Structure 1
Amino acid sequence: MTTTQLACKCGKVHLDVQGRPFITTECHCNSCREAAQRLGGLPGAPAILADNGGTPFILYRKDRAHITQGAEHLKAFRLTPKSVTRRIVATCCNTPMFLEFKGGHWMSIYAALWPEADRPAMTIRTMTADRNDLPALDDSIPSGALHTAGFYAKLFGVWAAMGFRSPEVIVDGEINA
């Protein structure tokens, strides 16, 4: 199994992923777009939105993604105090690293961490029903108004392969954006 080494913009935080992702997706939900705009407004933050307004993610099993350096720089960002989704940011340079759902067994890693030449291609768009006021998307990849049945089937298959475990990712502290 190959290991891909990813890093924040300044290189202080390293995240290693093993093997291949199980999904590459571009999320168009209101929450991902709002979070991307707010996190993108932090000083020095890299852009994470695609030109079409979606947020590209590369999904890995949590047991195949490891923070190998700089964990002390990671902080959580939530859109609201009750949000079950948290986005993890490397505060050394304000690089969004990944998104995680409470109790989830996968990590949605921001595709912008990969050099563009090495970035896995997106295979599906999700939550396109939230694009009410945005231009129509092209037909280059399949799009689902919500998450598709295939998307959920892959999530379930990965969870079963992990023995129905949901490893915890410990991050101390939160940021506001």
Structure 2
Amino acid sequence: MSQTIRLQCRCGAVEMETRGTPIMSTECHCTSCRTAAGIMESLPDAPRLREATGGTRTEMFRKDRLRCIKGAEQLREFRLTEKTKTRRVVTSCCNTPIFLDFTEGHWIDLYGPLWPGGTLPPLQMRTMVGDRDDPSALPDDVPNFKTHSLRFFLRLIGAWIAMGFGRPKIDYVEGELNVVPG
């Protein structure tokens, strides 16, 4: 539980730190994640975010175990709609996608490409594959769930119980990213 992981954007101006192990390692195939990934990948010099399968790889962490240790002034958010409670956070220095924040939730999804080569934890499941035109084309190396599985929710609830039902806010994002949602 004392594992500390430091992750940084491509240019090194932003550095994040997590403590402990991820709640779970997922690849999301929902329409929103795939749309947002396309927007982030279209930014100048942005890295690829979508996996070969088309999904978005994330490591889910408790919010109380994440902090920005350098470059918070470079973080920008965007939302697919004005009313969505989900925001994506990207750096303004090099357009590196950093995390997805369910603002009313207790967890944060750090994007998989932040991990240096060979250090990303093994994928545990694909979620929301029912949003795809042909989910049968996905590999069967991990479970491919049509929506969010019971296992998914149990892991999130377990983490929330361990946090004493807290919902920390990520309040160090400094502004908005000017993008036009797809």
**Same structural fold, with TM-score higher than 0.5 when normalized by the shorter chain:** yes
1:37 maps to 38
CA distance in 2, matches of 1:102, 1:166: 9
1:174 maps to 176
2:95 maps to 94
CA distance in 2, matches of 1:103, 1:81: 15
Q: Which runs of 5+ in 1 are unaligned?
A: none
CA distance in 2, matches of 1:30, 1:133: 13
**Root mean square deviation, CA, Å:** 1.1
1:159 maps to 160
CA distance in 1, matches of 2:103, 2:15: 22
Letter in 2 for 1:173: G
Letter in 2 for 1:9: R
Count of residue correspondences:
177
1:103 maps to 104
Q: Please report how far the alpha carbon of residue 135 of structure 1 lies from its aligned counterpart in structure 2 after TM superposition.
A: 6.4
1:51 maps to 52
Q: Please report how far the alpha carbon of residue 134 of structure 1 lies from its aligned counterpart in structure 2 after TM superposition.
A: 6.6
The 3 A distance-change label for structure 1 pair 17 and 104 is same
TM-score (norm 1): 0.97
CA distance in 2, matches of 1:165, 1:135: 38
2:28 maps to 27
1:135-173, CA deviations, whole angstroms, 9 ceiling, x for partnerless residues? 610110001100001100110110010010011101221
Q: Which runs of 5+ in 2 are unaligned?
A: none
Please give the secondary structure, in 1, of the residue aligned with 2:22: coil
The 3 A distance-change label for structure 1 pair 176 and 133 is farther
